[in-house]
Amino acid sequence: MLEPGTKVGAYRIGEQLGAGTMGRVYRASRDADGAVVALKVMLPETARHESLRKRVYREARTAMAVNHPNIVRIHEVFEHEALPVLVMEYLEGESLRTRLKRERRIDLQTLAQVMVRVTSALGTAHAHGVIHRDIKPDNIFLARGSVKVLDFGIAKLTAVEGSAAATASLTKTGTLLGTPYYMSPEQAKGMKRIDHRSDIWSLGVTMYQCLSGEIPTRGKTFVEVFKRVVLEPLVPIEKLVPDVPADIAKLIGRMLTREPAGRPWDLREVHDALERHANEKAPSFATAVAIVDEPTG
């Protein structure tokens, strides 16, 4: 753990904001101008594993490959005492997971206002060849005045050229990646061909949970979760939330179709359906700007 005041590159460490299995996140300020950022510093025991080090660099490159107001910005990546460090925009607020723990359910209008921004961000990423592969409430951050999609650390890049293609070879096809409850059937089965519709499934699970307070794929063991994701019928959301509008119930049901071909082809359909319930003008997919130069680091 880094103590407050420690110098890390051009930055001065402040308080710790969070910690996980990969690393710790600190509030920090840049010595040159006092700009406040968040530093994600990899743990020493994790940094010893080359595959996990590559995951950190992949997170940086994938997030930097698409510039979108609802994707957390990573400004640079460097090493400090052999530990990879990501310099990210500093966010104030809470994750969707934290909100759900406190409130258990989220009303449709509020959820729609959040998810139109998430679908805009993910839809844009998909258009640039990036599949997130780990959409869940933890990775949707409700920042003050905005919504941010976090952690592209296990993202798969499918573009064949440009900045998005730079790290495509770092993701091994067929590897079981993601969080079990939100994992698509094709991820759970370790299938080699996984496309953007895997994110659509994961987003469907997240929306189901937000509206009903229940995770449709919950189980006590990984085997139970696997069976729910791959084999067992899921309880239709209208059974738990009778007043859910028919169009949203139908949409979530399609998002949770086990065969990818049965899901919406892309997130534009999801975005447009949610926009009708958001009662505000939603951001479109056109807000993204492709970054053509390969990121450094």
CA separation (Å) from 279 to 28, 60, 129, 276? Answer: 37, 34, 31, 7
Local structure of residue 265 (DSSP, 8 states): S
Distance, CA of 25 to CA of 41 (rounded, Å): 6
Distance, CA of 11 to CA of 32 (rounded, Å): 8
Q: Any catalytic annotation for residue 134?
A: yes
User: Looking at 31, 33, 107, 134, which residue is catalytic?
Assistant: 134
Would you give the end-to-end CA distance of the chain in angstroms?
23
Write down how long the chain is.
297
Residue 101: CB atoms within 10 Å: 11
Distance, CA of 185 to CA of 27 (rounded, Å): 37
Asked if residues 95 and 141 have their Cβ atoms less than 8 Å apart, the reply is: yes
Structure tokens given for 96: 């969707």
Active-site positions? Answer: 134
